[in-house]
């Protein structure tokens, strides 16, 4: 398996590697970070490879004093970048990414020799950057007479992604990169039915992608020594507690939650995020201070993924306040399932797929994205009768049995068996 991050913190990748090893496959998971490391993840071997900087293309240019380019300079640069995109697309078509985003070759230099040395029978490439690395490894292996299967795991719909850097080359370059290498994939896996349909149409796939939801793992013994969420927030059991868990950025909508807190007297907000001291988190705390609610906002670090559900269960409401953005409209994201398995009523913005699901199951309330007053209304409705919303997780109609990683992992295992025409246990 290949992924373009440091592995820890990526629950989907970790669960996929662990469950594949449990199914009998010999799994090596390759990631990348500033420093190399090796470890075991269940039965999977994890190798994090040292990634030189810059990794994702040319770094943003700096002015003489060392700071980022001022906004005027960035705006002046954009016409040049648009011209570069038009020129190289006209010259090279989908191969234009080589000129527009040459930093993608860094992943090839780091991962390629290691993949070749492992001589895998199947490569599972997570997300878009690893698709090209895997495709070229498959091409080299097949040229040497060794058949290799390639599974591409599309975590998001790239045309609807917010560019990772402030330049106009980023998105067209990565779209071209994916288009060039999708034909090498023997199968595509993705995270939702809506995204499966989009990918099939966009890439003219002969087979609809296999949907593997990023649901929590529920089998096995309960995790040991789960931290107490309320104790970390410094509050007692009767204080209303809202929780937001996951990556944090403006488009995630947490600013709307902070704006809503004055309309939710006594309610506290836990922000379970990768880095509680990150600049954007600090800006949220500053906004909370201006509103007089700073003492009710509690930034907290992540816990290990196997503890997440039990950790969140101490809250009263799980929040998903996403802004309208194409990728936000089409997914049931990880925290949605984590909240559900924690039996939390949820309050979600009116992004399409999650809002439709919540209205169908009755597990929470929907509010208008970016509308702090409407968010406060939705939270008050849940806090007034939480039992009503928790009942959605009970009884024969509960969606929870299908929202488990164990159910999803069997789909992945069946796909591997089909592609390789072998059962790993029987083969051994």
pLDDT for the residue numbered 161: 82
pLDDT for the residue numbered 70: 65
Evaluate the CA torsion angle 372, 262, 301, 245 in order and state its sign. negative
Peptide bond between residue 342 and the one before it cis (omega within 30 degrees of 0): no
Task: Evaluate whether 254 touches 321 at the Cβ level (below 8 Å).
Answer: yes
CA distance 307 to 400: 18
Residues 6+ apart with CB under 8 A from 255: 284, 287
Neighbours of 55 (CB within 10 A): 17
| Local structure of residue 378 (DSSP, 8 states) | H
Residues 6+ apart with CB under 8 A from 427: none
Name the CATH superfamily, with its identifier, for domain 11-215+408-427: Glycogen Phosphorylase B; (3.40.50.2000)
pLDDT for the residue numbered 163: 76
| Tokens of residue 86, six digits | 């038009």
Name the CATH superfamily, with its identifier, for domain 229-399: Glycogen Phosphorylase B; (3.40.50.2000)
What are the start-end ranges of the E strands in 35-132? 37-41, 44-50, 122-126
Evaluate the CA torsion angle 325, 326, 330, 331 in order and state its sign. negative
Q: Is 0.95 surpassed by the pTM of this model?
A: no
Domain ranges of the chain: 11-215+408-427, 229-399
| Tokens of residue 76, six digits | 């002046």
* Within this chain, domains 11-215+408-427 and 229-399 share the same CATH topology: yes
Residue pointed to by tokens 């909370």: 288
Provide block-wise average pLDDT over 10 residues at a time, the chain (428 residues).
94 95 97 97 97 57 46 76 93 96 96 98 98 98 97 94 81 97 98 95 97 89 88 98 95 97 98 96 98 98 90 98 93 94 98 96 98 98 98 96 95 97 79
């Amino acid at each position: 398996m290949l992924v373009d991050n440091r592995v820890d913190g990526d629950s989907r990748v970790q669960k996929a590697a662990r469950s594949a090893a449990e199914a009998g496959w010999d799994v090596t998971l390759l990631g990348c970070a500033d420093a190399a490391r090796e470890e075991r993840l269940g039965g999977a071997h994890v190798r994090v490879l040292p990634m030189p900087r810059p990794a994702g293309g040319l770094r943003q240019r700096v002015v003489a004093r060392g700071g980022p380019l001022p906004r005027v300079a960035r705006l002046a640069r954009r016409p040049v970048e648009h011209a570069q995109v038009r020129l190289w697309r006209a010259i090279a078509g989908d191969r234009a990414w080589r000129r527009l985003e040459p930093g993608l070759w860094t992943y090839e230099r780091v991962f390629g020799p290691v993949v070749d040395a492992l001589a895998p029978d199947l490569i599972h490439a997570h997300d878009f950057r690893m698709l090209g690395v895997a495709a070229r490894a498959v091409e080299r292996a097949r040229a040497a007479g060794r058949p290799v299967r390639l599974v591409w795991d599309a975590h998001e719909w790239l045309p609807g992604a917010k560019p990772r850097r402030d330049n106009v080359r980023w998105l067209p370059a990565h779209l071209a990169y994916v288009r060039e290498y999708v034909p090498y994939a023997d199968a595509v896996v993705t995270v939702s039915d809506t995204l499966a349909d989009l990918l099939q149409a966009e890439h003219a796939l002969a087979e609809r992608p296999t949907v593997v939801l990023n649901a929590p793992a529920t089998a096995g013994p309960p995790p040991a020594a789960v931290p107490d969420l309320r104790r970390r927030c410094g509050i007692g059991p009767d204080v209303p507690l809202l929780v937001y868990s996951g990556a944090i950025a403006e488009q995630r909508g947490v600013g709307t939650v902070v704006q809503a807190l004055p309309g939710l007297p006594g309610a506290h907000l836990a922000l379970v995020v990768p880095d509680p001291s990150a600049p954007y988190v600090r800006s949220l705390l500053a906004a909370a201070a201006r509103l007089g609610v700073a003492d009710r906002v509690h930034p907290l670090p992540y816990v290990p993924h196997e503890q997440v559900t039990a950790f969140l269960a101490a809250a009263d409401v799980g929040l998903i306040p996403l802004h309208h953005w194409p990728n936000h409209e089409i997914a049931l994201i990880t925290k949605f399932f984590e909240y559900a398995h924690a039996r939390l009523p949820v309050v979600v913005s009116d992004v399409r797929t999650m809002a439709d699901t919540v209205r169908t199951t009755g597990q929470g309330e929907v509010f208008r994205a970016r509308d702090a007053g409407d968010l406060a209304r939705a939270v008050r409705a849940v806090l007034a009768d939480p039992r009503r919303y928790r009942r959605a997780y009970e009884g024969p109609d509960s969606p929870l049995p299908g929202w488990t990683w164990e159910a999803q992992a069997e789909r992945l295992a069946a796909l591997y068996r089909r592609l390789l025409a072998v059962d790993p246990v029987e083969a051994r």
